[in-house]
Amino acid sequence: MNDQQLIKLLNKLAESYFLLAPQKLDDNLLPGYEYGIREVKNLEEIDWSGAMPYGSWKEVLLPYHERLFDIQKGRLVETKTKYPPIACLAMNILDLKALTLFEQVFANDLYYQKRRRPMLIVGYSTGLPSDYKKYKVFSHNYEENVLEHVIFDIFVSRQKNGRLKFYSGSEKGQLTLDQAGLTDYNNIEFAGPVAESGPDKTLLSIMAKMEKSANKKIWDELDKRCLACGKCVIACPTCFCFDLEDRDNSAEQSRSRRWGVCFYNDFSLVADGRKELDTVKKKIFFWYYHKLVRIPKQYSLPGCVGCGRCIKACPVGININETIKAL
Ligand code: SF4
Ligand code: SF4
């Protein structure tokens, strides 16, 4: 396989999909902010360097604001939304892990499912030693032990000799590769999000430490530093909480949902005016507890995929890796 075949595949996808991919935005942007996910107008714009785009695929999978239904003449009417066929290109392995978590969380969510159905996911690995290391955190056998536990339709991996290797991860992926005239690819059957041997041991150990950490002084330290600005939540590809918003006025009776940010004051506000999360310390503890305890308990998967976006986003330098080390 070589790059010509990748171009052939992309040209085929462009016939029926709206293409989105990581792209280099501007050399003058601050380090870490130069790459973003944008519409592909020209195939040469796609960034294949493996750099982590600052914005995440969450914006595509779970839009910031989504109208769900209207009430018309006393009847519930589902909002007519267009779900275009989108090909999400060059999604790195950490973002595939975030997507795999979303697929569990929103398994029964009608709106998510309608949006996801026409999408095609094309994963990508640069094959760089640093990239390869990330996979080895979880296993030594990249093909079987990593790819079979993440969701994708097509996966493209650059080998040490520079050539590309193609994988299909679904019938849709297989059909697409066939239609593009690519014949030399491996099929990977999805074996569920969790390895046969059970949840990752590191994950379990972090979960146990986090669970008993409420009285640790790390939370007092973070309480003093954190601004509760919520940038970490917005940047994070696995933060999936949302608020429901009802409108009831003469012009509109509807329900929408929008991203919820657990650092904001209204997140835990209840009808009588009380707030469960009424201090910064409680908010930041809640954020970590959701990622490191509640998500792993519910899905046997980590609530953090280690992408580092929250570290880049945080204006006061709070670093999840350092917090985990401190725990
Ligand atoms: S590193 Fe930060 S942004 Fe990335 S998944 Fe973990 S918590 Fe979210
Ligand atoms: S980005 Fe940093 S300062 Fe802002 S809420 Fe998150 S941890 Fe706190």
Convert the pLDDT of each residue in 111-167 to its tens digit: 999 999 999 999 998 876 555 555 444 333 455 578 899 999 999 998 878 889 999
Nearest Cα to Cα of residue 256 among 53, 4, 66: 66
**Ligand nearest the Cα atom of residue 263:** 2
Strand ordering across the sheet containing 154-158: 35-39, 18-24, 86-91, 120-125, 154-158, 164-168, 185-187
pLDDT at 260: 96
List, for residues 12-23, the tens digit of each pLDDT value: 999 999 999 999
Ligand nearest to C-alpha 235: 1
Q: Evaluate: CB of 304 within 6 angstroms of ligand 1.
A: yes
Tell me what the mean pLDDT of segment 252-257 comes to. 92
In a domain, 193, yes or no: no
Number of structural domains in the chain: 2
- Which atom number of ligand 2 is nearest to the Cα of residue 231? 1
Asked if 57 and 180 sit in the same domain, the reply is: yes
- pLDDT tens for 184-223 read 999 999 999 998 888 888 889 999 999 999 999 999 999 9
Mean pLDDT of 51-64: 94
* Residue-range definition of the domain harbouring residue 156: 3-187
Q: Coil, strand, or helix at residue 312?
A: helix
29 lies in the same domain as 175: yes
**Looking at residues 295-310, what average pLDDT do you find?**
93
Protein residues with CB under 6 Å of any ligand 2 atom:
226-232, 263, 313-316, 318
Give domain status of residue 219, yes or no.
yes
Residue 16, both tokens: 């029926």
One domain, residues 288 and 311: yes
Nearest ligand to the C-alpha atom of residue 280: 2
Are residue 148 and residue 216 in the same domain, yes or no? no
- CA nearest ligand 2 atom 6, residue: 232
275/149 same-domain check: no
| Domain end (from 156, 187, 218) | 187
Task: Specify if 195 maps to a domain.
Answer: no
181 membership: H or E segment, kind and range = none
Residue 222 lies in a domain: yes
What would the two tokens of residue 20 be? 């989105």
- Note the pLDDT tens digit of each residue in 84-103: 999 999 999 999 999 999 99
* Helix, strand counts (H, E) of the chain: 13, 11
Report the atom number in ligand 1 closest to the C-alpha of 307: 4
- Residue 29 Cα to ligand 1 midpoint, Å, equals 21
